[in-house]
């Protein structure tokens, strides 16, 4: 591997010695490392957690139970304001039909993602999730909401985050994903989603979820107008939060990181999509930086077949989605040709294994966390 600068050589040595890199060093890596260097370093870190040719996947759908939302993020093509034509809320029967279809296709993971709907009380969610658990038991798992929606419904119900999390847990919920994080800097949120909670509130809610015994994930979206510094600040905050969980003996509560890319079509913010090459470099940087999170997931939803190249840049896991209205309305296209997608992973030298819910779907290949 060629050395381009002494600083880069030092960083490479640190990574090889399993030492942690700083935000400044991440910046140098981003600026100075070639694609091949980033890829090789990310592959080294990946190998701490997973055997080199292994990767895992799930077949899943996102169920957009309502598109009514008051948050008005300028990067969103999905929402309708209350009272606006086209707003909807799915009934339990409509949700069951979607879950039945998922099971028939061989999938067993659903994620719920809607909006900040002021007309939906906490009981709507509790009734829905307990009905799903009653009907399907452990045949499938579901990510009930994103943290951002969870925060809104807790506020709307006048409950603190811990109390709201406990209510959902009693209804059969086990997971709330880290969605709604996008870029975790206050300035980014002021620019694009000022009604979507501060970074401090986001982590306060995520901590309450974990304290209530729920599990969660780390997420990120790139490709808006965020700076490299903002991307690295997001990674730093994510790593620090996971450090705190590990120190509290709760590191298993956050086992994965998923980054996807902004789809700009039909949004107020607009713009053009970033190149896949930039996404892959960011995946590699994330794998290197997040040395305390075992599973790094690459986004087939927003990068299609090329997302599989992420396996060469430090990712070890991916979803094969069959639906997500939020990203589809902003330009994402979904392929149901799962055989072709899996064949692509194989062509790249990986053996994809389905993480079936019924067989310990959330166990990373190597659950040992690094000591540094
Ligand atoms: S991204 Fe989510 S919170 Fe923001 S406007 Fe769209 S649905 Fe609402």
- DSSP 8-state symbol, 304: G
Is the CB of 78 inside a 6 Å radius of any atom of ligand 1?
Answer: yes
Is the CB of 168 inside a 6 Å radius of any atom of ligand 1?
Answer: no
pLDDT by residue, tens only, the chain of 372 residues: 455 789 999 999 999 999 999 999 999 999 999 999 999 999 999 999 999 999 999 999 999 999 999 999 999 999 999 999 999 999 999 999 999 999 999 999 999 999 999 999 999 999 999 999 999 999 999 999 999 999 999 999 999 999 999 999 999 999 999 999 999 999 999 999 988 999 999 999 999 999 999 999 999 999 999 999 999 999 999 999 999 999 999 999 998 999 999 999 999 999 999 999 999 999 999 999 999 999 999 999 999 999 999 999 999 999 999 989 889 899 889 888 999 999 999 999 999 999 988 777 776 554 444 444
Are 149 and 326 in contact by the 8 Å Cβ rule? The answer is: no
Average pLDDT, the chain: 94
Is the CB of 79 inside a 6 Å radius of any atom of ligand 1?
Answer: yes
Q: Using only the alpha carbons of the chain, give its radius of gyration.
A: 20
What are the helix (H) ranges across 171-255?
Answer: 186-192, 199-211, 228-247
d(C-alpha 318, C-alpha 102), whole Å: 17
Is the CB of 115 inside a 6 Å radius of any atom of ligand 1?
Answer: yes
Per-residue pLDDT tens over the stretch 344-358: 999 999 999 999 887
Per-residue pLDDT tens over the stretch 97-152: 999 999 999 999 999 999 999 999 999 999 999 999 999 999 999 999 999 999 99
Q: What is the pTM of this model?
A: 0.95
- Residue from 66, 68, 69, 268 to probe ligand 1 pocket by mutation (most atoms less than 8 Å from CB): 69
- Look up residue 11 and give its two tokens: 């960083």
Please identify, by atom number, the ligand 1 atom nearest to the C-alpha of residue 78.
6
Per-residue pLDDT tens over the stretch 324-335: 988 989 988 988
Please identify, by atom number, the ligand 1 atom nearest to the C-alpha of residue 148.
3
Is the CB of 269 inside a 6 Å radius of any atom of ligand 1?
Answer: no
Beta bridge partners of 295: 256
């Amino acid at each position: 591997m060629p050395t381009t600068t002494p600083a880069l050589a030092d960083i490479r040595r640190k990574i090889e010695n399993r030492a942690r890199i700083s935000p400044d060093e991440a910046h140098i890596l981003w600026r100075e490392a070639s694609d091949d260097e980033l890829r090789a370093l990310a592959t080294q870190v990946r190998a701490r957690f997973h055997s080199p040719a292994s990767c895992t996947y799930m077949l899943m759908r996102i169920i957009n139970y309502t598109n009514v939302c008051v948050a008005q993020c300028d990067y969103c093509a999905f929402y309708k304001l209350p009272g606006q034509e086209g707003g909807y809320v799915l009934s339990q029967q409509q949700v069951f039909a979607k879950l039945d279809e998922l099971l028939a296709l061989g999938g067993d993971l659903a994620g719920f993602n809607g909006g900040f709907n002021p007309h939906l009380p906490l009981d709507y969610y509790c009734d829905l999730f307990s009905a799903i658990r009653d009907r399907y038991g452990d045949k499938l798992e579901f990510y009930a909401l994103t943290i951002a929606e969870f925060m809104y419904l807790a506020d709307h119900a006048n409950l603190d985050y811990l109390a709201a999390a406990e209510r959902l847990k009693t209804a059969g919920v086990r997971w709330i994903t880290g969605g709604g994080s996008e870029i975790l800097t206050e300035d980014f949120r002021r620019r694009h989603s000022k009604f979507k909670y501060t970074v401090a509130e986001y982590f306060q809610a995520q901590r309450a979820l974990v304290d209530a015994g729920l599990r969660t994930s780390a997420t990120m979206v790139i490709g808006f107008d965020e700076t490299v510094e903002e991307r690295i600040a997001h990674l730093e905050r994510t790593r620090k939060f996971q450090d705190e969980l590990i120190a509290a003996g709760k590191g298993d509560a956050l086992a994965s990181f998923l980054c996807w890319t902004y789809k700009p079509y039909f949004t107020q913010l607009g713009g053009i999509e970033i190149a896949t090459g930039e996404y892959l470099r960011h995946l590699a940087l994330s794998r290197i930086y997040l040395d305390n999170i075992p599973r790094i997931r690459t986004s087939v939803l927003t990068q299609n077949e090329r997302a599989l190249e992420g396996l060469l840049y430090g990712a070890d896991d991916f979803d094969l989605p069959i639906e997500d209205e939020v990203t589809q309305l902003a330009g994402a296209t979904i392929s149901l040709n799962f055989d072709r997608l899996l064949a692509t992973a194989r062509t790249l030298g990986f053996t994809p294994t389905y993480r079936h819910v019924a067989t310990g779907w959330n166990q990373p290949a190597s659950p040992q966390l690094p000591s540094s």
